[in-house]
Each structure stands twice: as structure tokens, then as C-alpha cells.
Amino acid sequence: MHRLWLPVCLTVLICSCAQYARPINTSADTRYSEVPVFFATNRNDTNDDNLNKRFGEYRSAPKYGIGTVAIPDDYPKAKQENYMRWNLILTRDPEEQPAVLDISRYKSTEHFRQINQQLQESTDKTLLFFIHGFNVPFERIIRISAKLAYDLEIDGAVSFFSWPSEHNATRYSADEGHLLWAQSDINWYVDQLFRQTSAEQIIFMAHSMGSRAMVNAIIEQFENHPEDIARSAALVFMAPDIDATVFSRDYAPQLTDFGIPVSLYVSSDDIALSVSRVLHRYPRAGEAGPDIVIVPGIDTIDATDSDADFLGHEYYFQGAQTIMDLYLWLAEGMPPELRGLEPVETERGTYWKIVPAPNADSPEP
């Protein structure tokens, strides 16, 4: 039976993590804003003139740089009244997506110098750091990172680490190995964000398989440098592809001891994590339902009713309600009880549920 499931599982995994959207046309008559995104990667540099193929899927020495991404000028921000209706997954124009305009590599010292310059020119001195999940190409994560910075109105700087994820449905286990191989480079980069940047607050965010690298990096960092906790604004796990029991038993107690705000976004409609559950034989920390992770000191947010891709795995940047909730928390500083979430009481504790979006065709209030 499991052999019959495997091809189906692998097909779902590649569909869930390798969707492509046509970028906007950046011709002279197109109006867009330029969003700078800093990056670190241990992928191979292809030196391809096509920016969408600049970094490949093979392991390599760490590299650093900055990319520029175009965001359409008519793309509303989360705080605007029309955001919820505009960002509903079925109403967006597929041709109005972020586009990579430029990628430049620098030595690590220049990389951090430019991050500091960006921070010095900002008002809140906040840095958003992101780690992606399984089967995500470099060009996609640079566009996603720019969209997150735009949606959350990060005035400081945004940076991400891209590990050598492969583009092959049968390479899920290989990606797990690549991520494990990349862990030491990720740990070093996280440490340098504290050592070499002037960020006053750092938001840490990870999606899916990338959550494994993030939780390990954060625990090592704060155990070795507890003084860095004061500069950590939040830790966000989106659809984490981590064993649910391991997260609750091993990771959560350490994370809550650090005393920084931690949120876990989950869904019972996440087909990709359902497949991962079949492959691993145990629930994932990013799944809702009867096995939902509830830990004192961690806010669990059920995003099942957030509009997202049809596989329910990328609601963290496609689901209007999830983006709005992230904005209210990270930009406005609102706790769950003030963000319009529905509290759900259980014997194990309370978690929060995102309220379904209004109909996209409903009249404006």
C-alpha cells in the first residue's frame, strides 16, 4: 500500500513547492517599486545571464549578495481596506507578480556593510530573516522574501538563506540531506546577523522544511549567546515540516525558556504536510486537527480557513488572512486576542483560529 502511495506523495510534494507565477512586465510603461533583498546561499553560482537561473541546486561554498525585486505599484499593503479582497487567491492577476531585476554578489564584509547601510537609512532598524523549505528555487525565494517585506512593511532590511534544494519530486530525502549539510553555514550566518549588523530587532521566519534549520540555529545561537535574545523580536514557523512530538517535547521547552514571542502557523488542509506525514509515519508540527501542537508560551494559529494555493501549503505569502494576521502581529504589535482571531479551548490549552475571509464579490463596506 505504501508503495502505491509513494508516486502520489511525490507528485503532490513537487506541485506544492514548485509553483511558478509569471512575473510582471517591467517595461518602461510599467509602474513598480524596487525592493532590495539581501541573501546568503550555499548553492552553486551558474553565472547564467538569466537571473531566474543564476543559482543552481548543487552544494557549494557560501556566497553573499543583494537582489532587487520589482513589486507592482498598485499592489495594496495589508493595512489598506482593499487588501483582503485584492489578495484573494482567485482574484489576483497572474501576470502581476514580483520580478527579479538584478542580482549582485559581494564578499561577506561588504554584504553586511550594505545591510547596515540599509538599516541606518530606516526608521525602525528591523531585520527580517527567512529560510525556505523543500523544492524551492533561488529565484522564487528572492521574490517571496521581497513580497513578505512589502506586505509586512519592513522598513529596515530583509535577508534570506537559500540552501541547495533540488527540483525533483523524487528528491525529498535528498533535500533533507542538503538541509542538514547546510546547517553549519546557516548557523554561522545567523550568528553574523547579530555580530555584524546594527539591527535592533530581528524577526526570524521559516517555512516548511526550513523550520528544521531555523529551530536548530536559534537554539544554538541563544544557548551560546544569551545576550542576543534581547534583539530578537519574534520567531515564526509557517507550516513547519517537523515531527510534531519532537517539536513539542524537545524544541518548544527550549524556545519558551528564551522568552521571545513564538508563533506556529498550522493548517488541517495542508496537503503537502499530509504527504510528509505519510512518508514519515507521524504528524507534522504544521498540521492542525486532533494532533495540533499546543504548548504554553507559543501561539498556535490555525490558518486552515486562510485562502491559499490549492494544496494549502503556501498560505504564509498567498493567503490574505494569514498575511494580515502577520502584519497585525509583527508590524502593529497586536497579541492574538486583538487580531480578530477565534480562540479555541481544548483540554491541552488554547489555540487561535483565523476567521474565514469575506466573499471576494461582496460589496465594499
Q: Which tens digit of pLDDT belongs to each residue from 244-260?
A: 999 999 999 999 999 99
- With cut-offs at 50, 70 and 90, classify the pLDDT of residue 357: low
Mean pLDDT for 151-173 is 90
Q: Is 363 exposed, middle or buried (0-12, 13-18, 19+ CB in 10 A)?
A: exposed
**What pLDDT digit, counting tens, does each position of 11-54 carry?**
444 444 444 444 445 555 567 889 999 999 999 999 988 888 89
Q: Specify whether the CB–CB gap between 87 and 323 falls below 8 A.
A: yes
pLDDT number for residue 271: 83
- Write the DSSP assignment of 108-121 as a string of letters: HHHHHHHHHHHHHT
Least confident of 72-76, 288-292, 320-324: 72-76
Average pLDDT of span 112-125: 96
User: Cα–Cα distance between 346 and 278 in angstroms, integer?
Assistant: 26
CB contact at 8 A, 192 and 163:
no
pLDDT at residue 365 in the model:
36
Residue 273 has pLDDT above 60, yes or no: yes
Please tell me the distance from the alpha carbon of residue 120 to that of residue 314, in angstroms, as a whole number: 32
* pLDDT band at residue 78 under the 50/70/90 scheme: low
Question: Domain ranges in the chain?
Answer: 2-353
pLDDT at residue number 286: 95
The pLDDT value given to residue 29: 57
Query: Among 31-35, 130-134, 229-233, whose mean pLDDT is lowest?
Result: 31-35
Per-residue confidence (pLDDT) for residue 25, from 0 to 100:
52
More confident of the two residues 324 and 128: 128
pTM of the model: 0.88
Q: Is the pLDDT of residue 196 over 90?
A: yes
| Model confidence at 237: pLDDT above 70 | yes
Mean pLDDT across 264-279: 89
Instruction: Please identify, in words, the CATH class of the domain defined by 2-353.
Output: alpha beta
At 8, the pLDDT band (50, 70, 90 cuts) reads very low
What whole-number distance in Å separates Cα of residue 357 and Cα of residue 6?
34
Cβ-contact 236, 205 below 8 angstroms? yes
The amino acid sitting at 22 is: R
Q: In the sheet where 157-162 sits, what is the strand order?
A: 99-106, 55-72, 32-45, 157-162, 126-131, 201-207, 232-238, 262-266, 299-302, 349-353, 342-346
Burial (CB count <10 Å: 0-12, 13-18, 19+), residue 52: middle
Contacts of 19 (CB under 8 A, 6+ apart): 309, 314
Using CB atoms within 10 Å of the CB of residue 362, give its burial: 0 to 12 exposed, 13 to 18 middle, 19+ buried: exposed
